[in-house]
Amino acid sequence: MPDGAFYVFPSCAGVIGKRTPDGQMIETDSDFAMYLLDAFAVAVVPGSGFMASPYIRISYASSLQDLTRACDRIIAACASLS
């Protein structure tokens, strides 16, 4: 159990080097964070801002329903990459 933090830092290394449906290359955790925001309306923070690349920071200080919706969108975002 975390001791007071409300964040998780999942790796996004598996999407680095992949392309979005419109052909944009995901080269960094920042690229992936922007893709999630622009294409799937999910706000995360690039780990590079915390010297933790290639990770993204996700806050879990939200309702279970909102978190489930966001996770479903992140899964769809990853599935859409080639």
Residue by residue, DSSP assigns 14-61 as GGTT-B-TTS-B--SHHHHHHHHHHHH----EEGGGGT-TTBEEEE--
Q: What is the CATH number of the domain that holds 20?
A: 3.90.1150.10
Residue 17 lies in a domain: yes
2 falls within a domain: no
Residue 34 lies in a domain: yes
In a domain, 1, yes or no: no
Q: Which of 5-9, 19-23, 54-58 has the lowest mean pLDDT?
A: 5-9
Q: What pTM does this model have?
A: 0.92
pLDDT, tens digit, 9 for 90 and up, residues 39-51: 999 999 999 999 9
- With b meaning 16 or more CB within 10 Å and e meaning fewer, what string describes 21-47? eeeeebebbbbbbebbeebbebebbbb
Work out how many domains the chain is built from and give that number: 1
5-20 pLDDT, tens digit per residue, is 789 999 999 999 999 9
Q: Please report whether residue 61 resides in a domain.
A: yes
Across residues 16-37, what is the average pLDDT?
A: 98
Name the pLDDT band for 1 (thresholds 50, 70, 90).
low
- Does residue 14 lie within any of the structural domains? yes
Q: Which domain holds residue 56?
A: 8-79
**Residue 35 maps to a domain:** yes
